[in-house]
Amino acid sequence: MVDPALFPLFLVAAAVLVLVPGPDIAFTLATTANRGARAGFAAMGGIMAGGAVWILSAAAGLTAVLAASEHALTVIRYAGGAYLVWLAIETIRHIDAAPEAAAASSEWRAFRRGLLTNLTNPKAGVFVIAFLPQFVNPDIGPVWLQFLTLGAVIMAMAVVVLSGVVLGAGALRQRLIRSALWRRTLNGMAAAIFGGLGLRLLFIR
């Protein structure tokens, strides 16, 4: 159950965001390049498990906050908008940066480090809270159900992207190292998405 008017925008934004190289892609890439595809898929499994924890926790927390205050969604909207605008500025400041990460030494460690890397990254949780609520419409059904549906969609996209990273690790690694234009293009697209969504939260009801 999602708002059909907001869902196309969500799909475009989510697709761009999961494609931008970040800690998850960097860790999966490094682990695959050093330990092989099985370790890469283990790293991806840990990352997905961490993402599921963030989404479930955020859905439960958002539902509780909305139940406690009718103005809570407005507060979350402005806080999320400000965070996304700040993230856009930071992305522009480091537009040429290539993500770096150390590889795990075994499949179990790859899973564990993927999970811990995701769970101990506060930006992951803040981003979930800032990004997903703006595509939730309390008037069409339970907020928690919409939140989980959108979370499942973005996680499915992430699985596709990270699987591609594992399968094409060698070529992708060389592209990230050698092509400044490619990095700038992806980071620029991410900054535009962050900034656009942030301003939408701040100025459009």
pTM of the model: 0.73
Residue type (1 letter), 164: G
Domain contains 75: yes
Q: What is the pLDDT of residue 99?
A: 60
d(CA 119, CA 197): 24
For the four alpha carbons of 35, 162, 115 and 185, in that order, the dihedral sign comes to positive
Confidence tier at 93 by pLDDT (50, 70, 90): confident
Per-residue pLDDT of 110-136, as tens digits, reads 899 888 878 876 667 767 777 787 788
In a domain, 49, yes or no: yes
Q: Residue 175: inside a domain, yes or no?
A: yes
Is the four-CA dihedral 26, 28, 31, 33 of positive or negative sign? negative
Whether 72 shows a pLDDT value over 70: the answer reads no
What would the mean pLDDT of 41-55 be, rounded to a whole number?
Answer: 91
Rounded-to-integer distance, Cα 159 and Cα 178, Å: 25
Q: What pLDDT shows up at residue 96?
A: 72
The model's confidence at residue 68, banded by pLDDT at 50, 70 and 90, is: low
How much is the average pLDDT of 179-194?
A: 73
What gap in Å lies between CA 123 and CA 88, rounded to an integer? 13
What is the reported pLDDT for 64? Answer: 67
Q: Look at residue 34 and tell me if it is in a domain.
A: no
Domain total for the chain? 1
- pLDDT of residue 41 exceeding 90: yes
Mean pLDDT, the chain, whole residue set: 79
Residue 54 has pLDDT above 80, yes or no: yes
Classify residue 35: in a domain, yes or no: no
Domain hosting 95: range is 41-203
The answer to whether residue 94 is domain-embedded is yes
Q: Which of 21-25, 94-98, 187-191, 199-203 has the lowest mean pLDDT?
A: 94-98
Q: Is residue 181 part of a domain?
A: yes
Contact 62, 131 (CB under 8 A): no
Query: pLDDT tens for residues 2-20?
Result: 888 888 888 888 887 788 7
* C-alpha to C-alpha distance for 149 and 147, rounded to whole angstroms: 5
**Cβ atoms < 10 Å from Cβ of 65:** 15
- Does 174 have pLDDT greater than 70? no
Asked whether residue 190 is domain-assigned, the answer is yes
Calculate the alpha carbon distances from 4 to 1, 9, 101, 146, 174 in Å. Answer: 9, 10, 38, 11, 39
